[in-house]
Structure 1
Amino acid sequence: MGVRNTPGTRTGVPADLAEVERLAAARLPTDVRDFIAGGSGDEVTLVANRVALDGVGVVPRTFAGVEAADTGVSLVGTRAALPVAVAPMAYQCLVHPEGEVAAAAAAGAAGVPFTVGTLSSRTVEEIAKTGAPLWFQLYWLRDRGLVGELVARAEEAGCQALVITVDVPVMGHRRRDVRNGFALPAEVRAAHLVAGTTEAHERRDVGSGVAEHTSAVFDPTLGWRDLEWLRARTRLPLVVKGVLDPLDAARCVGLGASAVVVSNHGGRQLDGAVPSVTALPRVVEAVAGAGDVLFDSGVRSGTDVLRALALGATGVLLGRPVLWGLAVDGERGVARVLELLRAEFAQALLLAGCADVDAARGLATVSTGRGAP
């Protein structure tokens, strides 16, 4: 990865995702690091996500007779080499000049879907040239015509699913960004929202330019009728991201969603929201096989992927670690992150006595700590 003599590593190559994060944190400006790492409010939910994951104990099976595990799976109709997709994340050119193009290329090489964000700093057309399997994430915008235009662009670019994020009627109060007066540098922009992005670049003594921009362009009145409108508008499988309530999840699939993502936005929206992994089993029960149930918020290892599967998830979305890898070494850094996750997950399957992903969903779990299911 081009990193040498790094404290905590003997070879200069990170041995786990925590080391990748430490390397990235040392390289990034404070305001950018805080923009990525931070949560909302007192960051209670940000911390609780990790505590709750650590509190999930998996009960391994023995006498499995498994020599090699198959990590492949279908996620919302997309064939993937791992039960993992890269989560939608904004403004990736903040951490590397190639941004989303580099991250998507690494995801494609690893055989996992890459989710292009509405607030991507490279366009879906540019990213599609990597040949990676793509999903497109949609925020609900005040300009309904622009929503329709983005859906059409995603379809034309060959995206295989449409992901609508529903937990950002307004941006959570992210105190790190407010203290830093965070704003985008001139060279980084929301490539799909070329017009009306001035607010995001205006640095303040106290306050967040990105939050001001979000307030200006996002529509907080998103409701069930809008989901029905979107379902009728696109031929793509529809994924609803940001669901924690079982009743909401059941209604989403009842209205034609192919999947839901159990997510509290990585602790960046409602502070005090339930940890995603705590909400996961009840959402799985409510969906009852009528659609895929994906999980995100706090995934940091192959063991975390195993935990989510054992609790009934179809797969997980991987967020911040991808940005840390991108910051460290661009496409090669993201490739290293995904390879670490692949190796850890394959070993976790074997240690749990599982020949494949389906077997992992049959594992029992116990609560070993606070906040666990």
Structure 2
Amino acid sequence: MPDPDGQAVEVLSLADVAAAAKAVTSAAVWDFIEGGSGVERSLRANRAGLDAVYVLPRILRDVSRQSAAGVLLGSPVSMPVVTAPMAYQRLVNAEGELAAARAAKVADVPFTVSMLSSVSVEELAAAGGTLWFQLYWLRDRAVTLELLERAEAAGCQALMLTVDVPRMGRRLRDVRNGFTLPPGVTAVHLGGPETSAHRWQSGASAVAAHTQQIFDPTLSWSDLGWLRERTTMPLIVKGVLDPNDAARAAGAGVAGLVVSNHGGRQLDGSAAGIDVLPKIREAVDGRCQVYLDGGIRGGGDVLGALARGADAVLLGRPILWGLAAAGERGVNDVLSLLREEFDHAMILAGCRDLADVRQLQVVDSRAPMR
């Protein structure tokens, strides 16, 4: 991976990728990627929660043969990782989502197409690989239906409804920067070369203003049923933290849940997903798959998440780091490194496969075993 002067940089951890990305990214865009809402308590909580997870490795097991492969919603994957839906990836690289999707295909993990993608789902589908499509609830129901039809026609294998954004969180870094999308970067699925997200407003985020115009805050449980009736794609609900909501969603027939506080970018003070994951797992009682989103920064985090009850994790910001640092090659590096770290962690924990990982016992360092 090159540095700003074009010299090769040794990448030994995802933190190395982050440093390379920050060096070539404008301050305002970096804040848009890295920032959380409010005073960023929930952003910090994601890492604090993952940092507190310690596993009890098993010993005297033959780990000469080990595999991280699994199945997510009927599709084989090389490891229990999905790229998270992230908007406007052309902010950090000219190819944007297309480069990231190609890297996900090489890594054999699903790529989640954001509704606010800067590359169309049709173009991403042409690149091959397993695609999931993410949807926000829109005021214009006709546009929602059109997007469902386009995602199905493109061959997307799952639909991920994000439910924790009745309006965008107050992200103070963006407010202070008066963050505005640059010309040429737009949500291509919503039509038109420019929107209110491109119009600067003093003391405000133009992206937040745009989403407030188009997102429908009336989203409710009845809408979940409406959506299920209008698509054949398995439905995943993203943004679940309360076990009662998880149980109700599982009872409504969803195929998966993403335990997530939106990377600390929505309600500041919402719990870290890793901390509520065991209760969510218990609440759904095997009726759907459970994924963890927020703060994953290495293979050890993936191991800990699965040991706590996740079927897979969503990887967000590190994908953007790789994309910013070196385009498709950078995302390849991120996913290859994560796979290497996860394989290594599995072997050292005495795990031959994902079933072994899920049997590991976990200690929370904030509440040690007695």
TM-score bracket for the superposition, by shorter chain length: over 0.9
Q: Secondary structure at the match of 1:192?
A: helix
Whether 2:47 is the aligned partner of 1:50: answer yes
With the length of structure 1 as denominator, give the TM-score of the two structures: 0.96
Task: Report the AA paired with residue 361 of structure 1.
Answer: R
Whether 2:89 is the aligned partner of 1:92: answer yes
Task: Report the AA paired with residue 257 of structure 1.
Answer: V
Task: Report the AA paired with residue 85 of structure 1.
Answer: V
Residue number in structure 2 paired with 1:349: 346
Q: Percent identity?
A: 55
Equivalent residue in structure 1 for 2:98, among 96, 101, 105: 101
The structural deviation recorded for 1:65 is 1.1
Q: Report if aligned partners of 1:170, 1:214 keep a CA contact under 8 Å in 2.
A: yes
Q: Report if aligned partners of 1:308, 1:316 keep a CA contact under 8 Å in 2.
A: yes
Residue number in structure 2 paired with 1:304: 301
Q: Report if aligned partners of 1:182, 1:210 keep a CA contact under 8 Å in 2.
A: yes
Equivalent residue in structure 2 for 1:261, among 247, 258, 261: 258
Alpha-carbon separation, structure 2, partners of 1:13 and 1:141: 44
Q: Secondary structure at the match of 2:189?
A: coil
Task: After superposing the two structures, state which structure 1 stretch, 344-353 or 12-21, moved more.
Answer: 12-21
Equivalent residue in structure 1 for 2:287, among 290, 308, 312: 290
The structural deviation recorded for 1:129 is 1.1
Equivalences for 1:185-196 in 2 at 5 Å? 185-195=182-192
Equivalent residue in structure 1 for 2:312, among 303, 312, 315: 315
Alpha-carbon separation, structure 2, partners of 1:196 and 1:26: 29
The structural deviation recorded for 1:13 is 2.6
Residue number in structure 2 paired with 1:112: 109
The structural deviation recorded for 1:312 is 1.0
Equivalences for 1:122-201 in 2 at 5 Å? 122-195=119-192, 197-201=194-198
Whether 2:365 is the aligned partner of 1:363: answer no
Q: Report if aligned partners of 1:107, 1:114 keep a CA contact under 8 Å in 2.
A: yes
Q: Report if aligned partners of 1:3, 1:13 keep a CA contact under 8 Å in 2.
A: no
Alpha-carbon separation, structure 1, partners of 2:201 and 2:230: 39
The structural deviation recorded for 1:4 is 7.8
Task: Report the AA paired with residue 240 of structure 2.
Answer: V
Task: Report the AA paired with residue 362 of structure 1.
Answer: Q
Q: Report if aligned partners of 2:4, 2:23 keep a CA contact under 8 Å in 1.
A: no
Task: Report the AA paired with residue 34 of structure 1.
Answer: D
With the length of structure 2 as denominator, give the TM-score of the two structures: 0.97
Q: Secondary structure at the match of 2:217?
A: coil
CA deviation profile, 1:25-76 (whole Å, cap 9, x unmatched): 1110011000000000000000011011000111110011111310101112
Task: After superposing the two structures, state which structure 1 stretch, 75-84 or 214-223, moved more.
Answer: 75-84
Alpha-carbon separation, structure 1, partners of 2:274 and 2:302: 11
Equivalent residue in structure 2 for 1:273, among 270, 275, 279: 270
Residue number in structure 1 paired with 2:227: 230
Q: Report if aligned partners of 1:96, 1:327 keep a CA contact under 8 Å in 2.
A: yes
CA deviation profile, 1:116-164 (whole Å, cap 9, x unmatched): 0000000000111110110000000000111111011000000000000
**C-alpha distance 180-135 of structure 1, shift in aligned 2 (>3 A):** same
Which sections of structure 2, spanning at least 5 residues, go unmatched?
Answer: none
Alpha-carbon separation, structure 1, partners of 2:253 and 2:88: 30
Residue number in structure 2 paired with 1:80: 77
Q: Secondary structure at the match of 1:62?
A: coil
Task: After superposing the two structures, state which structure 1 stretch, 192-201 or 84-93, moved more.
Answer: 192-201
Residue number in structure 1 paired with 2:210: 213
Q: Report if aligned partners of 1:55, 1:370 keep a CA contact under 8 Å in 2.
A: no
CA deviation profile, 1:256-305 (whole Å, cap 9, x unmatched): 10000000000000000011100111000001111100001000000000
Q: Report if aligned partners of 2:4, 2:24 keep a CA contact under 8 Å in 1.
A: no
Q: Secondary structure at the match of 2:236?
A: strand
Alpha-carbon separation, structure 2, partners of 1:146 and 1:153: 10
Alpha-carbon separation, structure 2, partners of 1:73 and 1:99: 28
CA deviation profile, 1:290-328 (whole Å, cap 9, x unmatched): 110000100000000000100111000000000000000
Equivalences for 1:28-43 in 2 at 5 Å? 28-43=25-40
Whether 2:241 is the aligned partner of 1:244: answer yes
Q: Report if aligned partners of 1:68, 1:350 keep a CA contact under 8 Å in 2.
A: no
**C-alpha distance 29-196 of structure 1, shift in aligned 2 (>3 A):** closer
Task: Report the AA paired with residue 278 of structure 1.
Answer: D
Alpha-carbon separation, structure 2, partners of 1:370 and 1:159: 42
Q: Secondary structure at the match of 2:164?
A: coil
Alpha-carbon separation, structure 2, partners of 1:340 and 1:38: 24
Q: Secondary structure at the match of 1:85?
A: strand
Whether 2:329 is the aligned partner of 1:332: answer yes
Alpha-carbon separation, structure 2, partners of 1:350 and 1:5: 38
Q: Report if aligned partners of 2:183, 2:194 keep a CA contact under 8 Å in 1.
A: no
